[in-house]
Amino acid sequence: MSAPSSQDRPDVDTLRALVSPRSIAVIGASDDPTRIGGRPLGYMLRSGFQGPIWPVNPKRETIQGLPAFASVDALPAAPDAVIVAVPAAVVPETLEACAAKGAKAAVVFSSGFAEMGDEGRQAQDRIRAIARAGGIRVLGPNCLGVFNAHNGWIATFSSSVEREPPAPGPVAVASQSGAYGSHAFALLRARGVDTGIMITTGNEADVDLADAIGYLVRDEATRVIVAYAEGIRDGDALRAALAEAAAACKPVIFMKVGRSQVGAAAAASHTAALAGSDRVYDGLFAQYGVMRVDSTDQLLDAAQIASRGLFPDGDRLGLVTISGGVGVQMADAAEDCGLSVPEMPADAQRELKELLPFAAVRNPVDVTAQAFNDLTLIGKNLTLMLEKGGYDVVVAFFTVVAGAKAIAGPLIEILTEARASYPDRAMILSLVATPEIVRQYEDAGYPVYEDPTRAVAAAASVMRFGRFFARPAEPAPPAVPAGAPAVPAVMLAEHEATDLLEAWGVPFVARRLAKTADEAAAAAAAIGGRVVLKIASADIQHKTEVGGVIVGVEGNDAVRAAHARLLDRVGSAAPAARLDGVIVAAMAPDGVEAVVGVQRDPTFGPVVMVGLGGVLVEVLEDVAFRLAPFGVAEARRMIASLKGAKVFEGVRGAPPADVEALAGLLARVSVFAAAEAGRIESVDLNPVRVLPKGQGVVALDALIVPVTG
């Protein structure tokens, strides 16, 4: 299947008819509300869809009490959207009829397409062609549909809406998997978090996950987007949608599965989508402030708290506990989540100690269970923590004690009073109570988590969004250097690659190409000090393997001897290679070794990679990716995200390294990668030496693999 490209994508606003139609038809409507063609009708009659519903069924006069129509043609007008619940074989002609009638969107439940092999894939391609030609947006096939609780449009046969209709709420779910989308929806509802819109994209013949997210970003009722994907068809469109979400300060919580080897294999066999490198998604999500989750609970926890719309932009966590040990546990969790747990100021500690002589008052503040004998103490403590501690979020562990019926009401009152002057700060509770009492706390604005470490993680998730949303404007990617050369469609020798990249702003050590021993000696003298001699040939990519590198050569005679030895060794090891000469290069100063690369991701195009040099990093796969192009601020964060980033600070007596120079290099490489996207397969700068602070960075070697043919 050919993936749709961004160029011919209809604008996401065309999804309005799909997600928020004013009139609808059900093709293959069933009178039996338990059958696939009957369920949406039943659901909508209950939820009260705000517009005409036209069942299409040639065999019956009425369907579930509504007048039925014999065909699409016979409909009284063009419906905004249609539900297609017919066998796979007649889906294309049905869609053609709908398009001819003037329908703007269709939801295709039917399975038996790309998931069934080549024939199905062809039928699916036909659906896409019909959609584009007829100007009708098609959801599916093989999908669980869409619902919009805001207008009662329930175009799904999911049993998750059976017990009660979805209620309008701030969360929207966009999921490739119908089963997982409705699983998340059902669990969110069980927590009292309402999902106003769910869109499941199934086989994505036309509408894909990027469309769905893009639409939801612009949808005013949606304040939190939960997304689920196995693989993305159009990376550019997803990137654009996430960029729009970031600009709109709308939180996106994303589960992308297929992280592991076995998971990726399962995903490849399951979906027709290209896999690409999962690690690239980490980079994409970091760039656009998306929260990636690996488990359903992380997803639910984050959606639950994000739905409150409170995103403090700091990282200061205040901890209240009635158990010293759980305070410790929450502090552990805070460090795991990258939050700070700063001490209360000394004067506030003194004040607290007077109020609560039994308490530990640093932070975590252990008010002990005794504070529950006089709840005003809990309020006074909270006031002090917000006012003097300045915490962005306070998490309190009150366990079963706050679960008592007699406690909940008064405690809520006291907490709310204490928080009144700090509406931008959040408070989260960890307690155990009946569902009714939990609801009481939730309704009053206090998200409840039974697990105190999950409460801390939830705090971290909103603060992470808050810091991202509050980020000041960042430097744009560097400009393309004037006259920077394009990458040719042929393999370049190292000296050609370094010259080209130098023009794009990549610093290399001083070097010269020498055709003869005389030229080599002259080059060495001009460069000065000890030099490296390397064979120059586009035919030789791994120079050390043919003895094509000699390091630490100094003095006229030594250079000439090394030159002769090099040509001799390469002559025997690679007699067929065309040689351009020998590169004479300066020895690079000491520094921290890094590797920088560019790869062409099948989904997202050019991505830039950075890692530390050395064998262990290879073993630990400690590398970071970002989609090109990006600015220097993003590059700094990219470097900081490496597990081994501390090496740049200077360990074992080494001076701090020039991280700023490395960040600049990465940003310039990203501009090169983006500008030359169509011409580059990959680029390797390995190693790149990061010199002591203020002294810059130099690449020692370069390899460009161009797109050829």
Which parts of 410-449 interact with its own copies (CB under 8 A)? 432
**Total of residues contacting its own copies (CB under 8 A):** 84
**Options 58-66, 88-96, 322-330, 504-512: segment touching its own copies (CB under 8 A):** 322-330
In 3D space, the residue among 596, 587, 492 whose CA is nearest the CA of residue 540 turns out to be 492
Q: Which is nearer to its own copies, 349 or 537 (CB)?
A: 349
* In contact, 570 and 545? CB cutoff 8 Å: no
Binding mask 146-175 for its own copies (x = CB under 8 A): ------------xxx---------------
Does 111 bind its own copies (CB under 8 A)? Our answer is: yes
Which residue, chain included where needed, has tokens 């989750």?
293
Q: Which of 325, 409, 589, 678 binds its own copies (CB under 8 A)?
A: 325
**Options 324-332, 345-353, 377-385, 553-561: segment touching its own copies (CB under 8 A):** 324-332
For the segment 30-59, give every residue that binds its own copies (CB under 8 A): none
Q: Which is nearer to its own copies, 388 or 454 (CB)?
A: 454
From residue 285, give the alpha-carbon distance in Å to each of 241, 245, 281, 288, 559. Answer: 12, 12, 6, 5, 50
Integer Cα distance of 608 and 31 in angstroms? 56
Q: Which is nearer to its own copies, 527 or 691 (CB)?
A: 691
What is residue 149's three-state secondary structure? Answer: coil
The H or E element that residue 346 is part of is: helix 346-355
Q: Within the chain, how many helices (H) and strands (E) appear? A: 22, 28
Q: Which of 46, 121, 292, 362 binds its own copies (CB under 8 A)?
A: 362
Binding mask 451-490 for its own copies (x = CB under 8 A): xxxx------------------------------------
**Options 357-365, 487-495, 515-523, 575-583: segment touching its own copies (CB under 8 A):** 357-365
Could you write out the DSSP letters of every residue in 22-51?
SSEEEET--S-TTSTTTHHHHHHHHHT-SS
Could you write out the DSSP letters of every residue in 84-96?
E-S-GGGHHHHHH
Q: Which is nearer to its own copies, 576 or 619 (CB)?
A: 619
Q: Which is nearer to its own copies, 267 or 632 (CB)?
A: 267
CB of 668 to its own copies, least distance (A): 26
CA trace torsion 8, 2, 240, 177 (10° rounding): 120
Binding mask 615-644 for its own copies (x = CB under 8 A): xxxxxx-x--------------------xx
Q: Which is nearer to its own copies, 347 or 450 (CB)?
A: 450
CB of 363 to its own copies, least distance (A): 8
Does 213 bind its own copies (CB under 8 A)? Our answer is: no
Give Dmax (Cα) for the chain. Answer: 102
Q: Which is nearer to its own copies, 87 or 324 (CB)?
A: 324
461's tokens: 């998730």
Does 551 bind its own copies (CB under 8 A)? Our answer is: no
In 3D space, the residue among 331, 400, 399 whose CA is nearest the CA of residue 360 turns out to be 331
Integer Cα distance of 31 and 48 in angstroms? 18
CB of 72 to its own copies, least distance (A): 27
Residue 61 DSSP one-character state: S
Does 375 bind its own copies (CB under 8 A)? Our answer is: no
Q: Which is nearer to its own copies, 203 or 670 (CB)?
A: 203
CB atoms under 10 Å from CB of 372, counted, come to 17
CB atoms under 10 Å from CB of 682, counted, come to 16
Which residue, chain included where needed, has tokens 């439940």?
109
For the segment 230-249, give every residue that binds its own copies (CB under 8 A): 230
Integer Cα distance of 322 and 396 in angstroms? 8
CB of 361 to its own copies, least distance (A): 10
156's tokens: 């799904």
For the segment 556-615, give every residue that binds its own copies (CB under 8 A): 612, 614-615
680-690 and 697-699 strand pairing: antiparallel
Q: Which is nearer to its own copies, 400 or 564 (CB)?
A: 400
For the segment 257-296, give every residue that binds its own copies (CB under 8 A): 257-267, 269-271, 294-296
CB of 452 to its own copies, least distance (A): 7
> Strand pairing partners for 198?
147, 173
Integer Cα distance of 241 and 243 in angstroms? 5
* In contact, 400 and 432? CB cutoff 8 Å: yes
Could you write out the DSSP letters of every residue in 639-665?
HHTSTTGGGGG--TTPPPB-HHHHHHH
Q: Which is nearer to its own copies, 448 or 583 (CB)?
A: 448
Residue 316 DSSP one-character state: B
Integer Cα distance of 623 and 606 in angstroms? 16
CB of 260 to its own copies, least distance (A): 4
CB of 352 to its own copies, least distance (A): 14
Q: Which of 55, 152, 364, 687 binds its own copies (CB under 8 A)?
A: 364
For the segment 392-411, give every residue that binds its own copies (CB under 8 A): 397, 399-401, 404
Q: Which of 18, 322, 523, 663 binds its own copies (CB under 8 A)?
A: 322
CB of 180 to its own copies, least distance (A): 5
Binding mask 175-194 for its own copies (x = CB under 8 A): -xxxxx-xx--xx--x----
CB of 495 to its own copies, least distance (A): 25
103's tokens: 């329908």
From residue 100, give the alpha-carbon distance in Å to each of 134, 142, 675. Answer: 7, 23, 43
Q: Which is nearer to its own copies, 90 or 116 (CB)?
A: 116
CB of 175 to its own copies, least distance (A): 8
Integer Cα distance of 697 and 702 in angstroms? 14
CB of 583 to its own copies, least distance (A): 23
For the segment 302-321, give every residue that binds its own copies (CB under 8 A): 321
Residue 692 DSSP one-character state: B
Does 369 bind its own copies (CB under 8 A)? Our answer is: yes
Q: Which is nearer to its own copies, 339 or 520 (CB)?
A: 339
405's tokens: 């019926």
**Contact partners, residue 119, CB within 8 Å, separation at least 6:** none
